[in-house]
Structure 1
């Protein structure tokens, strides 16, 4: 992971012990780590709409052609698609999760964040 220290700082500052972050970058890092934990520690045994919402949120935010070039956007889309289609075969390697976390930090730098967000009342994960 290229931006481990920056991701750790966002986690520490903006991800609450319980519930969603009210900062976009915090929620993105939280979503990635929730998806990683569910796959690696639980084999996606609790996979449901909540996890799909987390993966979709990552794509919604990072699919930003003002920040990323076409090849990077394709990689982001492919990585998120891998997560969205991994209910029965969880993606267990760190590379995909680390790559997405690096993209969050690059997005954060480009947007000169942190960026505030509204909590999604329909998300319970």
Structure 2
């Protein structure tokens, strides 16, 4: 997916599916919210506030994006690797277009595009971010 295309789609999905506060009402919205929150924490704060909630977002992304109906085995392996790199919060890779945040966000957009019928999301009461 060309960079401008997925980035514009991310902004559209965020605007349409992510609430101003709290978790999204759909799985697609929560996927977009999760990659956005993780990226924001890394780029804005250098992960100095990376806590349990961020690890929960990573688990949520792993559970949803590692989808063999959408991604090949190679792509799933890449997603798994990028999430592992994000979980190494003390050493965030902020290298731009090659960073796990950038690449995972691109895959999150692709996943959402492959799931046009919105899937209801049951909020996790333990998640505070």
Q: Is 1:71 matched up with 2:74?
A: yes
Q: Distance in 1 between matches of 2:31 and 2:107?
A: 10
TM-score (norm 1): 0.90
Q: 1:21-60 CA distances to partner (integer Å, 9 max, x unpaired)?
A: 1111111111111111111111111111111001111111
Q: Which runs of 5+ in 2 are unaligned?
A: none
Q: Which runs of 5+ in 1 are unaligned?
A: none
Deviation >4 Å, runs of 4+ = none
Greater CA drift, 30-39 or 95-104: 95-104
TM-score (norm 2): 0.87
Match of 1:120 among 117, 121, 124: 124
**Cα RMSD, aligned residues only:** 1.4
Contact 2:65 2:108 in 1 (8 A): yes
2:94 aligned partner: 92
Q: Distance in 1 between matches of 2:47 and 2:110?
A: 28
1:41 aligned partner: 44
